[in-house]
Amino acid sequence: MKKILYIGNNLNNKTSNLSGIQTLGPLLENEGLVLHYASSKLNKVLRLIDMIWTCLKLSSKMDVVLIDTYSTQNFYYAFVISQICRQLNLDYIPILHGGNLPERLKKSPKMCRMIFLNSKCNVSPSKYLKIAFENHGFDNVVHIPNTLEIRNYPFFNREFDIPKLLWVRSFSKIYNPKLAVKVLSALKKVYPEVQLCMVGPDSDGTLKEVKQLAKDLNLNVKFTGKLSKKKWIELSEEYNIFINTTNFDNAPVSVIEAMALGLPVVSTNVGGMPYLIENDVDGILVAPNHVENMSSTVVSVIENSNKRNTLIKNAREKVLEFDWNDVKSLWFNALSTNKGESLS
């Protein structure tokens, strides 16, 4: 029975959404694998110390270490743990989550080579990052998409008389939540009854700014705070278009979930989004930070039922491929393949 140490932000607080460690980990456990986790410490320094200590303590008992890898401050967690694994001759697999990791490859080439060239393999949830890494000379990257259990995502039939917008993400500058409020303001001129619900925790103080913007524009926005997966899925039945406003992205689970629920998706065309959504086929991509472009696209979704129904149908069919029953074999392959072996 394979034993895995999973390193990531295993936080459960009001300022963080579910992370990869909290979704993939339990799925692997349900398949009979033994997992240990680090870390749930809120303080970043204590979190790193806990990750290091757990890795050292359990190294002789583990077969492989999974490392959630991001592009900003948390990148250094991945660097430290990967180098400890190297010293201990312990296999490790970085999971590439950060939508801005291509920039990190340019800024920190030596550190990136130390992490990614010495791994058992590197797992990319998006084809976008796989290609970006290959362009920088890393040929040990395997694409394993973010996954969901499709049975947990009922397909709702909705009315499309007025735009009822749903936004689900953490409130962070990189996700540009202010754009959602500006789009609401633009749509109000066409649809006075337009609605916007924003779901998610405040990660960097941006929520206060977004609420102030809504107040300044005299707009009624529903802010729910952080919701459990079950709660926001139930809430989604009341809305009819999902908007993704981010400036940087990889393969966001919230967008995949919206596609599964039958919500047509309008997203900014950044990072991994064109690898997840085929424009005008299973969603619509618009220019980043462009109010008029996004708002006019929302109007077109409301007014063109044929196009809308096609988007919804194609999106649901696409995300069936993300179901855990199909994705888990890719994980078993990555975990069992020897370092340096082809994963194709």
Residues carrying CATH 3.40.50.2000, the chain: 3-147+323-336, 150-322
Is there a contact between 214 and 288 (Cβ–Cβ < 8 Å)?
no
Tell me which H or E stretch contains 318. helix 305-319
Per residue in 136-180, pLDDT tens? 999 999 999 999 999 999 998 899 999 999 999 999 999 999 999
Q: List the beta bridge partners of residue 64.
A: 4
What's the pLDDT score for residue 338? Answer: 75
| CB atoms near residue 115 (< 10 Å) | 25
What's the pLDDT score for residue 26? Answer: 94
State the CATH architecture for 150-322: 3-Layer(aba) Sandwich (3.40)
More reliable by pLDDT, 62 or 42: 62
Report the alpha-carbon distance of residue 23 to residue 251 in Å, rounded. 14
Per residue in 194-244, pLDDT tens? 999 999 999 899 999 999 999 999 999 999 999 999 999 999 999 999 999
Per residue in 76-129, pLDDT tens? 999 999 999 999 999 999 999 988 999 999 999 999 999 999 999 999 999 999
Q: Does the domain made of 3-147+323-336 have the CATH classification 2.70.98.40?
A: no
Report the alpha-carbon distance of residue 8 to residue 31 in Å, rounded. 20
- Tokens describing residue 155: 């397909």
Whether the bond into 39 is cis, omega within 30 of 0: yes
pTM: 0.92
What's the pLDDT score for residue 59? Answer: 95
Distance separating the N- and C-terminal Cα atoms of the chain: 24
Instruction: Compute CA distances 327 → 26, 28, 122, 212, whole Å.
Output: 14, 11, 16, 42
